[in-house]
Amino acid sequence: MAMRGLFPLHPISTAAGAAASDRLLFLPPLPTPDLAESSAGIDVGNRKLLRDLSTFGIGGPCSFFIEATRPAHLISAARLARSRSLPLLILGRGSNCLFSDRGFDGLVVLNRSSIDETVEVVGPGRVRVGSGYPFNRLGVRTAVEGWGGLEFAGGIPGTVGGAAFMNAGANGQETAEVVESVEVVNREGEIRVLGKEDLKFGYRWSSLQEMDDLAGILAVTFRLRPAPAARNRQREFLERRRKTQPISERSAGSVFRNPVSCGVAAGQLIDIAGLKGCVIGGAKVSELHANFIINTGGATAKDVLALIAFVKDKVDRMFGIELKEEIRYVPYSSAQE
């Protein structure tokens, strides 16, 4: 089944696919800039507010900021952070993060690197995508073209790199099911290609999360399957999402992982505990879906953390179940809290 329309009519040949891969893997690094310079995108004068980079709308300023628009920028940022002993944080859409009210004492890189906004077809049903490419857009594009495996992605507001890192999933599908390989850069600025056999995945978890030297993800290759009904399935998923989740509110998505042992979802437990609508400061448990905490306006990380702790304590006391967070809290520094 040939991809058409939004994708090239003919898959890239093996040789061309290898050449495309080489272009990514061996891009020359940008000159390492001085932190007082802005020519490479480092903005020292304007300490970027992390609340502006987060779907939660919460977070203080970062010490240094770069917007990466090419894979070479990510590689250079990793080398720069290493050379200056700076903590490094690479962000996509900021959709699964809660940032400290103090901000982040290090270098934040906003990943807008998506291989020039293209999706490379490297074989039948095989697509290679830049890590900064919007995951929901990829889900729609592949479903429209009749490929299955990423129908669930149409409603997930993250990036391809973040989806692989977190093993994003919904509606009984997970990113891991269709990942073929992941291209990463470490803190030394070195690039590796990790095949499926080199990776491990679990519920909202991947072994990428435990790679101590990981700086960021450059690209992901997916292996999809023909599915003429993919677009219809996706529309059903999206309609269900609109009806059951507060997608128009400021949130970081699902707050807690679903417990694996009791057969009841985290949102159900929170609902049964009578916590829908519970408020601390500007943070509120959604009345539409109890596993979402929304920023009603002016919420702080302190408010959200207090509400998370309150919900966990109430559920634990009522059901003897300790909820585990799915969202990732990013402190100001490793010494904070």
| Six-digit token string for 271 | 């609902």
Helix segments in the chain, DSSP class H: 14-25, 71-83, 135-144, 160-166, 230-244, 266-272, 301-319
Q: How many residues does the chain have?
A: 337
Q: Letter for the amino acid at 179?
A: V
Q: Each residue of 70-115: pLDDT tens digit?
A: 888 899 999 999 999 999 999 999 999 999 999 999 999 999 877 5
Q: Each residue of 163-217: pLDDT tens digit?
A: 999 999 988 899 999 999 999 999 999 999 999 999 999 999 999 999 999 999 9
What mean pLDDT is predicted for residues 63-74? 89
- Which residue from 266, 62, 331, 85 is spatially nearest to 187, judged by alpha carbons? 85
Cβ 204 vs Cβ 257: under 8 Å: yes
Percent of the chain at pLDDT > 90 equals 71
pTM, to two decimals = 0.82
Rg of the Cα trace of the chain?
20
| Six-digit token string for 103 | 């901000």
Cβ 202 vs Cβ 168: under 8 Å: no
Residue 240: C-alpha distances to residues 114, 183, 190, 244, 285 (Å): 29, 33, 42, 6, 20
DSSP 131-176: TTSBHHHHHHHHHHTTEES-GGGGG--SBHHHHHHHT-EETTEEGG
Through-space distance between the first and last CA atoms of the chain, rounded to whole angstroms: 53
Write down the mean pLDDT value for the chain.
85
| Six-digit token string for 249 | 């509110």
- Total Cβ atoms within 10 A of residue 140: 20
Q: State the number of CA atoms in the 13 A half-sphere of 216 facing the CB.
A: 34
The two beta strands, 292-295 and 179-186, are: unpaired
Cβ 183 vs Cβ 24: under 8 Å: yes
Q: Each residue of 8-57: pLDDT tens digit?
A: 322 223 333 333 333 333 233 333 344 434 334 444 335 789 999 999 99
- Total Cβ atoms within 10 A of residue 51: 21
Predicted pLDDT at 113: 76
The residue behind tokens 């399957």 is 225
> Does residue 304 register a pLDDT over 60?
yes
Distance separating alpha carbons of residues 228 and 239, to the nearest angstrom: 19
Distance separating alpha carbons of residues 92 and 110, to the nearest angstrom: 6
Residue 103 zone, left/alpha/beta (φ > 0; ψ -120 to 50; rest): left
The two beta strands, 104-111 and 88-91, are: parallel
The residue behind tokens 């609109």 is 242
pLDDT band at 116 (very low <50, low <70, confident <90, very high): low
| Six-digit token string for 280 | 């601390």
Residue 165: C-alpha distances to residues 199, 205, 235, 256, 328 (Å): 11, 7, 25, 17, 12
